[in-house]
A and B are shown apart, each in its own frame.
Chain A
Amino acid sequence: MIIAEQKPLAEIKAMLNGRHKVLVVGCGTCVTVCLAGGEKEVGILASSLRMATQLDGNHIGFDEITVQRQCEWEYIDPLADRLANYDTVLSLACGIGVQTLVQRFPNVWVLPGLNTTFLGLPIEQGVWEERCQACGQCILDRTGGICPIARCSKQLLNGPCGGSQKGRCEVNPDTPCAWQLIYDRMSALGLLDKLMEVQPPKDWSTSRDGGPRRIIREDLRLPKDYQSA
């Protein structure tokens, strides 16, 4: 899922300077699960902002709502009538949710309350780790299901660098060396011979190097008359 974390309160307050009526909009999907922008976090942030802005002498009204998913038209369309009452929307969704609101409601000033951080998972209560960089060309079949693109600091394709020390990464000792993990797993599965195959340089055109990406599934598209967005 998408992992995000809330921006510092001071940064959010600075963004809201000069605004008067703010709707804090949470998202019930990824950012709820990673405890950054769900209904509970919307409530805590709105309350904090009410107190903090009042202490600063700013008179800003804050209301709250959380939609099931900010990144799909059908879930944000019901907000349309309500948005007329606000001069600002503070979105607690990921960057996708913020931009979905912006695209659907071009006359509304939308601000991000979160920093969208990575694609990953909670490995334990309160700890999240990156697992995927959405590079567009998955190679997990060749690396024992452990991604060196997302988990090796140098994104190496043919084994560890010299900075791999006792299974840890030289860039950050808290990070396990992805290639150590790959080697250990392949070894345990008796598949070390698979690592002898030399991987060619990666084609990054499917990643960000190819510019913003788009998937079109002609088999799923609606006839032109039915398309709404």
Chain B
Amino acid sequence: MRSLLDEIGLGSERVRMFNLSAAMGARLAEIATEMTEKVKTLGPNPLGARTREQAAK
């Protein structure tokens, strides 16, 4: 999945998979925070921007 996202041009860093048990709420919160920061750094989905550009034309 991640290599496909790279090939498409969306970037593999937008998706990650973690295996967590139901008892690992604290770790889930940590991961969610890390991913939020990561996605903010990466910026908006470039496909969305392209779609908006085309819609504006």
Which chain A residues have a beta carbon within 8 Å of chain B's beta carbons? 8-10, 44, 48, 51-52, 54-57
Within 29-57 of B, Cβ neighbours of A (below 8 Å) are at 46-47, 50-51, 54
The distance from the CB of A56 to the nearest CB of chain B, in whole angstroms, is 7
Whether the pair A10, B7 counts as a contact (CB closer than 8 A) is: yes
Whether the pair A51, B7 counts as a contact (CB closer than 8 A) is: no
Whether the pair B7, A55 counts as a contact (CB closer than 8 A) is: no
The distance from the CB of A75 to the nearest CB of chain B, in whole angstroms, is 29
Does B8 lie at the interface of the complex (its beta carbon under 8 Å from any beta carbon of A)?
Answer: yes
* Chain A interface helix/strand/loop/mixed: helix
Which chain B residues have a beta carbon within 8 Å of chain A's beta carbons? 4, 7-10, 46-47, 50-51, 54
Whether the pair B8, A57 counts as a contact (CB closer than 8 A) is: no
The distance from the CB of B6 to the nearest CB of chain A, in whole angstroms, is 9
Inter-chain contacts of B51 with A (CB < 8 A): 54
A-B contact count (CB 8 A): 28
Determine the distance from Cα of A9 to Cα of B9 in the docked complex, in whole angstroms: 10
Whether the pair A54, B47 counts as a contact (CB closer than 8 A) is: yes
Whether the pair A52, B50 counts as a contact (CB closer than 8 A) is: no
Whether the pair B7, A8 counts as a contact (CB closer than 8 A) is: yes
Inter-chain contacts of A8 with B (CB < 8 A): 7
Interchain Cβ contacts under 8 Å between A and B, 18 examples: A8-B7, A9-B7, A9-B8, A10-B7, A44-B4, A48-B4, A48-B8, A51-B8, A51-B10, A51-B47, A52-B7, A54-B50, A54-B51, A54-B54, A55-B8, A55-B46, A55-B47, A56-B9
The distance from the CB of B52 to the nearest CB of chain A, in whole angstroms, is 12
Determine the distance from Cα of A54 to Cα of B50 in the docked complex, in whole angstroms: 7
Determine the distance from Cα of A48 to Cα of B54 in the docked complex, in whole angstroms: 19
Q: A55-B9, A57-B50 are in contact. List 9 more A-B contacts (CB 8 A).
A: A8-B7, A9-B7, A10-B7, A48-B8, A51-B47, A52-B8, A54-B47, A55-B46, A56-B9
Which residue of B has the minimal Cβ distance to A9? B7
Determine the distance from Cα of A57 to Cα of B54 in the docked complex, in whole angstroms: 9
Whether the pair A55, B50 counts as a contact (CB closer than 8 A) is: yes
Which residue of A has the minimal Cβ distance to B49? A55
Inter-chain contacts of A56 with B (CB < 8 A): 9
Determine the distance from Cα of A10 to Cα of B9 in the docked complex, in whole angstroms: 10
Inter-chain contacts of A10 with B (CB < 8 A): 7
